[in-house]
């Protein structure tokens, strides 16, 4: 069982990286990737916890990129060489989050739902703070019933408290991931909200710009969507991956390695294919630095 998409307390999850490893072992996973939002901070703890266990730990990250309808997320795997400037890119993105968070709090105050910055920061535990933490603070204050309501009514794209932030273009992120010896995968394509023709055109453009894979197996994908993403990936030569997008207590209905209660259908050779692809980028990086 393979799960290549989960989050820890270093972004917006509720379990420490080491706790995710323990949970993955209990659930019988063969491989797990930690893909926190815009940060690599949890990877040392994650990799150390998995060392000497049967679990194959994949270092990863989830990066938000520029997209006209809101946000597109790119998963980067096997990133090891941070001399490429990838950490600097992530730092700038996190700085954009900081500006955005404060703008959201101003908008919420104008909607008679004031929240203190420190009040939200406590929920983030000192790591990357984002809209899920603001949603939790809103729920704690009784402004909304739950996290989903906070996003649907206030924090989601196009809602009254939504605020944009710094995003790089997809091709810039692909280039930076490759320079760091990693591979780039489009996360949960269903959330792009595109029909078959525009999605196909976008995927062709992304593949030509350096995209390496597509997250075909995901809990929010219907069976027909999954088949569509599989077929699109095959046609474009993209590696099909899968992940639960596990956040711990924030999404109690999501389990590691599961898709609507069933085992994720991530192909057994996925991790090897990603690692092989990453090796080609690592060789290029090494040659360029020589």
Which residues on neighbouring strands pair with residue 57, listed in sequence order? 32
The CA-CA-CA angle for residues 96, 219, 214, to 5°, reads: 65
Class for domain 2-90+166-289, per CATH? Answer: alpha beta
- What's the CATH fold of domain 91-155? DNA polymerase; domain 1 (1.10.150)
Q: Provide the whole-model pTM.
A: 0.85
Instruction: List the structure tokens of 238.
Output: 């993209």
Q: How many whole angstroms separate alpha carbon 20 and alpha carbon 246?
A: 10
CA angle centred on 65, ends 212 and 213, rounded to 5°: 15
What are the helix (H) ranges across the chain?
Answer: 17-26, 43-50, 86-110, 117-124, 131-141, 147-150, 170-179, 196-209, 223-236, 270-289
The average pLDDT across 10-30 equals 94
Q: What is the mean pLDDT of the chain?
A: 89
Residue ranges of domains in the chain = 2-90+166-289, 91-155
Give the lowest-confidence range in 37-41, 87-91, 124-128.
124-128
Lowest-pLDDT choice from 92-101, 126-135, 137-146, 232-241: 126-135
Q: Percent of the chain at pLDDT above 90? A: 60
Separation between Cα atoms, residue 79 and residue 22, nearest integer Å: 23
Residue 34 in tokens? 């930690």
pLDDT at res. 98: 83
Which of 127, 130, 133, 179 is CA-nearest to residue 283?
Answer: 179
Question: Could you tell me the pLDDT band of residue 282, with boundaries at 50, 70 and 90?
Answer: confident
């Amino acid at each position: 069982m393979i799960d290549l998409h989960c989050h820890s307390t270093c972004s917006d999850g509720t379990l420490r990286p080491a706790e995710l490893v323990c949970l993955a072992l209990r659930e019988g996973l063969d491989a797990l990737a930690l893909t926190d939002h815009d940060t690599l901070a949890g990877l040392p703890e994650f990799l150390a916890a998995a060392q000497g266990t049967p679990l194959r730990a994949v270092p990863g990250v989830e990066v938000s990129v520029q997209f006209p309808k809101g946000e597109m997320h790119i998963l980067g795997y096997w990133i090891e060489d941070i001399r490429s400037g990838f950490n600097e890119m992530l730092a700038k993105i996190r700085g954009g989050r900081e500006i955005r968070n404060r703008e959201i709090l101003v908008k919420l105050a104008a909607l008679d739902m004031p929240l203190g910055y420190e009040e939200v920061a406590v929920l983030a535990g000192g790591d990357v703070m984002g809209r899920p933490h603001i949603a939790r603070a809103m729920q704690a204050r009784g402004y909304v019933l739950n996290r989903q309501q906070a996003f649907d009514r206030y924090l989601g794209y196009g809602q009254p408290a939504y605020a944009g932030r710094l995003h790089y273009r997809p091709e810039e992120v692909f280039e930076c991931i490759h320079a760091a010896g990693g591979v780039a995968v489009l996360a949960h394509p269903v959330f792009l909200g595109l029909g078959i023709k525009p999605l196909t055109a976008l995927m062709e453009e992304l593949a030509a710009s350096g995209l390496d894979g597509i997250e075909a197996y995901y809990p929010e994908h219907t069976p027909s969507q999954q088949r569509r993403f599989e077929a699109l990936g095959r046609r474009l030569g993209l590696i099909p991956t899968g992940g639960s997008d596990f956040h711990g207590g924030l999404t109690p209905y999501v389990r590691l390695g599961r898709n609507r209660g069933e085992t994720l259908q991530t192909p057994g050779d996925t991790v090897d294919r990603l690692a092989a692809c990453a090796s080609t980028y690592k060789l290029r990086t090494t040659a360029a630095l020589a």
